[in-house]
Homo-oligomer: A and B are copies of this chain.
Amino acid sequence: MTISATLSSHGKILMSPLRKSEWANQPVLCKSVELFKNGRNEYRMSTNSNKFQCRALEIENKSSTKFHLDDVIESQQFDRETLSAIFEVAQEMEKIEKNSIGGRRSEILKGYLMATLFYEPSTRTRLSFESAMKRLGGEVLTTENAREFSSAAKGETLEDTIRTVEGYSDIIVMRHFESGAARRAALTASIPIINAGDGPGQHPTQALLDVYTIEREIGKLDGINIALVGDLAYGRTVRSLAHLLALYKDVKIYFVSPDVVKMKDDIKDYLTSMGVRWEESADLIEVASKCDVVYQTRIQRERFGERVDLYEEARGKYIVDMSVVNAMQKHAVVMHPLPRLDEITVDVDGDPRAAYFRQAKNGLYIRMALLKLLLLGW
């Protein structure tokens, strides 16, 4: 039996035993058969019993005429059009969350079960996903420390774990310590996978919520000026954000960072090749006055090893305080992926331009949108 290549991996085929004499008399008794994704665009079929040959009676494909979201693995998988469509859904989610309370909550994901398979703890991200699922009426299975998952500890492969967990749930949100783990999970799973961070690799939902926040706060993405401040060398967040900003027109990026954690050449070269203007600066106040967004990040101590002196020097260098905020334009905003230490002073919190807690909340809307899209489609 050949299955159309356009079939969604989450579609269903209504099946019936091959011998017509058997099914002709019971045409209603069709069997739902799962499609297993072997690779990006290949599928194999499996009935549960392997006991009879099948043929397709009718094909029900949940993928719409729009575009397709099977898994969320890396920021690079999104083009401008997809982002825009996701943001539209996120705004619907925002309305759903704001206009409802208690018993009037949404139940669009009622009966769906999300497994959070976290191989390293990240309570903030986990709570955000679990809240998103529950705000839409869905249910959650939680593993806060899957690395000690008895099976993983005993040497089970990620693939085997995924094959087991996919039997218990409808979607898997996974955080892993190894770059590429989410992609491997997606290649194995017949249900959608969302990458909630895989080691030094990707954290695509953070990148999406950052871009969404800029659009919501500034009202546009084309033509914005943005300062990326702090740890630009190791920060997964700013690197992904730079990638996504390259999808938009007339963006200007200012890099403001201590010398030891400067933005690396691969991103600079990429931006140049995409026609994005960028420059490095040491004057945070001057940059802030020209930007729509000042995106501050935390200098990560763990990157400096024994060199506490270098860390102390780096972390104190570019602080966003009221003198920076006062230099900013009225419509501009300060963003931060959180958690923050003292790289934004607490007195900034009261200024309407402090957008970082709204940004965190936007993570909820983006995750609600992705769960909705992956489970129900557009």
Contact = CB atoms under 8 A, between A and B. Distances in A.
Contacts of A135: 113
A115 interface: yes
A154 B124 contact: no
Nearest to A148: B121
A151 B49 contact: no
Q: Which of A48, A127, A357 has the most chain B CB atoms inside 10 A of its CB?
A: A127
A121 to B, nearest CB: 6
A124 B141 contact: no
A21 interface: no
B115 A111 contact: no
A101 interface: yes
Interface string A86-112: 000000001000111111110101111
A305 interface: no
A124 B150 contact: yes
Given A143-B127, A167-B357, A364-B167, A134 B113 contact: yes
Given A103-B110, A160-B338, 20 more contacts: A44-B350, A48-B94, A100-B111, A102-B109, A105-B110, A121-B150, A123-B143, A123-B146, A123-B149, A124-B164, A127-B143, A131-B141, A131-B168, A144-B144, A150-B339, A151-B338, A154-B341, A160-B340, A167-B357, A167-B364
